[in-house]
Chain A
Amino acid sequence: MTGGASNHVKSGGLRSIDPRPKLMLMVSASTACMLTGNIPHIAGILCVLILTLVVGGADMLVVLGRIRALLLLIAALFVIQTIFAGMDGLLLAAVLSLRLLVVVLAAAILLEGEIRDYLLALVQMKLPYELAFAVIVGLHFLPILRDEAVNIYCYMQLRGKDFKKLGIAKKLRAYSGLCLPILAGALRRAYETSIAMDLRGFRAMPGRTSMRRLSMRGTDVILTIFYPVIFIALGFIFVR
């Protein structure tokens, strides 16, 4: 099997929805939970997000796999805060953790879509295209960097560096040796890519056209309005 196959995740559900309702959901959910300190309100927002994922047909196992590390981090933060602040802090810690959960879940919903569509959506929403591209090119590099780090780690060991045998100080020094090729590689890649982009006419003209155009269907329009409305409505229900 080649890696290409996994790019084609099943379509339909959340994946077939325009990126703009998802962006709106992300913005309105995080804004709403930052403005309110009310636990039932934030919990309500969380429920809406989880429902969205389930009804949208997201593979929950995959979603959990993606956000697992962040969930652990949130749990750890919660425990630390309650230990240091006692019962008074419990409420505060709960609010903070729930807020973080909202942001993480909203991001998980964003991940049920293609980067290229978000790029197009941002450009169609009149965001300066240079900015949108900077973000996309950056995102594009992250997995490449990770793969490179793994490769470099292996090649270093093959040249005889035995990480298991080193003491802590030496281990740290050896790991810092890893940074050099990763950093040098990243810088070179960024440099070469920026030149290649210019050679392909990037920023040559006062503007830019797009081959594809996203258009919102009825459901997309409804969802874009639905999310901010429901989050505000939840506020009215729970906050008196």
Chain B
Amino acid sequence: MALEVKNLTFSYARNPSRKRRDFSPVFAVNDFSAVFERGKITAVMGPNGCGKTTLSKLLVGILKPLRGGVFLDGENLSGRRLAEIGKQIGLVAQQPDRQLFCTSVSDEMEFGLKCLELDSAEIEARKARYLEYFDLERYAETFPFELSTGEKQRLVIAAVIAMKPAYLILDEPTSALDRGRKAALGALLRGLASDEHTGVVLFSHDESFTARYADGVIKMEEGQTG
């Protein structure tokens, strides 16, 4: 059981006849292969601009590969809807602002759980558990956008983890966390890997964090990018 990436190639080279005046910096992934096992924390590290964020988007199907593919427990992701993929692979992307959709922290936690069609007792239980773990209970009725960056980051992580996806992808999850929160997150990820058998993929610059909590490290080189 693993999330497998085979000869993944992606670039943003566009059809030249419809030139988009372009904006976001985009980095290519070139012939990249890797296996992310369940029950393990795998860190993916590399210099800025090596395509880490692009890879994280490819892993969940937001971007479609040019060549190669992403295989979830042996099954190719291509053609599957994001909403289906999201139930098995949780993504915590870099900017928490873009991953908050509700008017209260409590609703935010319920958003994904309701989509999973869980019964209300289960929803309440998971919500309470993760709000407490991430020290967010006192904000339950707060508007998520009033939280600080670190609190928003914790909320997104809590909301995604509460869905108990088989795989969890985190893009720079510690960038706005202080060391106490980092340690708490690391311990939780370890627990998920060993108890729930979650496959965790950790994209990070934070060497001390990955050295401490990851089972293995995959280095992305500048050469792997186009």
Touch between chains A and B, by CB atoms below 8 Å = yes
Binding site for B on A (CB under 8 A): 1-4, 6-7, 9, 59, 61-62, 65, 143-144, 147-148, 151-152, 154-165, 177-178, 180-181, 184-185, 188
Chain B 135-150 interface mask (CB, 8 Å, partner A; 1/0) = 0000000000100000
Most buried by A among B22, B101, B103, B111: B101
Chain B 34-52 interface mask (CB, 8 Å, partner A; 1/0) = 0000000000000001000
Binds A, one of B23-31, B120-128, B182-190, B208-216: B23-31
Whether B101 and A3, one on each chain, are in contact in the complex, defined by CB atoms closer than 8 angstroms, is: no
Checking B18, B90, B98 against A185 with a beta-carbon cut-off of 8 angstroms, the contacting residue is B98
13 of the cross-chain contacts (CB-CB < 8 Å) are A3-B26, A4-B22, A4-B25, A6-B14, A147-B24, A151-B93, A151-B98, A152-B98, A158-B89, A158-B91, A163-B83, A180-B103, A185-B98
> What is the total number of residues of chain B having a CB less than 8 Å from a CB of chain A?
46
Cα distance, A87 to B104, chains bound together (Å): 57
User: Which residue of A has the minimal Cβ distance to B225?
Assistant: A2
Cα distance, A70 to B25, chains bound together (Å): 28
User: Which residue of B has the minimal Cβ distance to A148?
Assistant: B98
Number of A-B residue pairs, CB cutoff 8 Å, is: 113
Cα distance, A33 to B152, chains bound together (Å): 53
Checking B25, B145, B163 against A160 with a beta-carbon cut-off of 8 angstroms, the contacting residue is B163
Residues of B within 8 A of A3 (CB): 12, 22-26
B11 at the interface (CB under 8 A from A): yes
Checking B17, B102, B116 against A177 with a beta-carbon cut-off of 8 angstroms, the contacting residue is B102
Whether A184 and B24, one on each chain, are in contact in the complex, defined by CB atoms closer than 8 angstroms, is: no
B7 at the interface (CB under 8 A from A): no
Checking B18, B112, B115 against A65 with a beta-carbon cut-off of 8 angstroms, the contacting residue is B18
Residues of B within 8 A of A61 (CB): 17-18
Checking B20, B86, B100, B226 against A158 with a beta-carbon cut-off of 8 angstroms, the contacting residue is B86
Checking B97, B116, B159, B226 against A188 with a beta-carbon cut-off of 8 angstroms, the contacting residue is B97
Whether A1 and B13, one on each chain, are in contact in the complex, defined by CB atoms closer than 8 angstroms, is: yes
Question: Closest approach, in angstroms, between the C-beta of A103 and any C-beta of chain B?
Answer: 20
- Given A152-B98, A181-B100, A188-B97, also A158-B82 (CB < 8 A): yes
Cα distance, A188 to B95, chains bound together (Å): 13
Residues of A within 8 A of B197 (CB): none
Residues of B within 8 A of A147 (CB): 23-24
Residues of B within 8 A of A7 (CB): 21-22
Whether A160 and B112, one on each chain, are in contact in the complex, defined by CB atoms closer than 8 angstroms, is: yes
Question: Closest approach, in angstroms, between the C-beta of B96 and any C-beta of chain A?
Answer: 10
Most buried by A among B22, B27, B159: B22
Whether A157 and B81, one on each chain, are in contact in the complex, defined by CB atoms closer than 8 angstroms, is: yes
User: Which residue of B has the minimal Cβ distance to A163?
Assistant: B83
B179 at the interface (CB under 8 A from A): no
Question: Closest approach, in angstroms, between the C-beta of B149 and any C-beta of chain A?
Answer: 11
Question: Closest approach, in angstroms, between the C-beta of A55 and any C-beta of chain B?
Answer: 20
B160 at the interface (CB under 8 A from A): yes
Whether B101 and A156, one on each chain, are in contact in the complex, defined by CB atoms closer than 8 angstroms, is: yes
B60 at the interface (CB under 8 A from A): yes
B75 at the interface (CB under 8 A from A): no
Residues of A within 8 A of B23 (CB): 3, 143-144, 147
Residues of A within 8 A of B159 (CB): 159
User: Which residue of A has the minimal Cβ distance to B12?
Assistant: A1
Whether A160 and B22, one on each chain, are in contact in the complex, defined by CB atoms closer than 8 angstroms, is: no
12 further A-B contacts with Cβ under 8 Å, apart from A157-B82, A158-B85, A180-B101, are A3-B12, A4-B22, A6-B20, A6-B22, A61-B18, A154-B62, A158-B83, A159-B160, A163-B83, A164-B83, A180-B100, A185-B98
Whether B98 and A155, one on each chain, are in contact in the complex, defined by CB atoms closer than 8 angstroms, is: yes
Cα distance, A165 to B90, chains bound together (Å): 20
